Amino acid sequence: MPGLSSPEPYILWLTGVGILITLVAWLPLALKRLPLSLPIICMGAGAAIFLIPAITFRPLPTILPDIAERLTEFVVIIALMGAGLKLDRLFSWRRWNVTWRLLGITMPLSIAAITLIGIYALGLSLPVALLLGACLAPTDPVLAADVQVGPPKSGKEDDVRFGLTSEAGLNDGLAFPFVNLAIALAAAAAGSREPWFRNWVLHDVLWEISVGLIAGWIIGRIFGWLTFHVPAKNRLAQTGDGLIALAATLISYGAAEMVDSYGFLAVFVTALTLRRSHRDHDFQREMHALTEQVERLAMMVLLILFGGALVSGVLTPLRWVDLLAAVAIILLVRPIAGLIGLIGMPADRSEKMTLAFFGIRGVGSFYYLAYAVNAGGFGSGERLWAIVSLVVLLSILLHGLTVTPIMRAMDRQQGRDPDEPVAETEMA
């Protein structure tokens, strides 16, 4: 009897994709009660895969900078659409008080603190240190799924989950001006004679934020009308196809980028506007479910590659002082800045501590760094990639191991059963 021939790489890829999709569907349920998170599992799997001697490919962002930028960009915009669609709370300055505190106080304080650490502890120049601060200050919308609100109309929207979801949705767009400021400062240090401060204020701050907000609102209104308010037979909601949310994501991001504004901001505003167009329609859940599945699949692919990068040497340029700085950023900078931003907010101390602690760093940090390095002025960015990767690694491990027990304890403290399934009336 002839021996079995070695499978073709194509067949191996098909099998691997099938296994990955199975894990996308099953792992969140399996990990519900365990002090583990999906990102930890994916990162560990990636490290194991790329330790196999037969695999010679090394997924390092310094080798594949354009792929690193585009892949992280795609994952973030899908996550932003999903975050916006699942927010039940109506938009208002008072109801979103926790969001404005985290955005207006906590994030700038975090950027400033990390910049100072970069200059005085790590010996970085001002542009490089500011870029590090802009990359590591925002709460990630991708890896923070375990601390975000539940699906639309599920009723799982306490102040902590709402605050972390809305913060992650908006700060990914609002951190961009500081990334652009770092790029402008690097160009000025290299001898550029452009009036960088005027251009930064007028274009990177005023134009890109305002136009991003307007573009997102317009696209959201258009999709809301097409989905819920045109004559019944032609409504997109009649299709029952959640791909509409993916279409809105890509069109919103593309349109905002075409007019040179912040696409991340536009996507989140599009999601909020689309949700507001008919808050109680069942199709909201269909759209969110599709975006969540696509986001989870793309996130798992990216984190498998991240695990591969960890064992391929992305951390090699690190120095001991970088490790101390990374620990300080996770354990001191965000928690202290978070608590300062929440001073005076009417909430329990445990809720404030949870909001301050779970400033999860992740895919958004990778995107900002890839974008800035590809824009030029920072060299290959090997040490920056090492520092940011270390901070994300520590965040994945620390927050991933603590999120389940902390959030379950908070639910019990607030009188909720963390194991209670979503009621049928909430699902309708």
Give the tens place of pLDDT for each residue, 89-139. Answer: 888 888 899 999 999 999 999 999 999 999 999 999 999 999 999 999 998
**Which CATH code for domain 23-418?**
1.20.1530.20
Task: Pick out the chain residues at pLDDT < 70.
Answer: 1-9, 30-35, 154-156, 232-234, 240, 415-428
pLDDT in the model for residue 1: 45
d(CA 345, CA 245): 34
Note the pLDDT of residue 156. Answer: 64
The model's pTM:
0.91
| Burial group, residue 76, by CB count within 10 angstroms (0-12, 13-18, 19+) | buried
Question: For residue 366, with 0-12 CB atoms within 10 Å meaning exposed, 13-18 middle and 19 or more buried, which class applies?
Answer: buried
3-state secondary structure of 48: helix
pLDDT of residue 418: 65
C-alpha 288/C-alpha 198 separation (Å) is 40
In angstroms, rounded to a whole number, what is the distance separating the alpha carbons of residues 118 and 232?
57
Residue type, 199: N
In whole angstroms, how far apart are CA 32 and each of 27, 109, 281, 393?
Answer: 8, 34, 28, 21
Phi/psi class of residue 123: alpha, beta or left (left: φ > 0; alpha: ψ in -120 to 50)?
Answer: left
Q: Where are the domains of the chain?
A: 23-418
- Residue linked to tokens 């109506």: 90
In the numeric block, the tokens 């059963």 are attached to: 417
State the pLDDT at residue 296.
Answer: 87
Q: What is the per-residue DSSP string for 157-173?
A: --HHHHHHHHHHHHHHH
Closest by Cα among 376, 322, 398, 402 to 180: 376
CA distance 130 to 133: 5
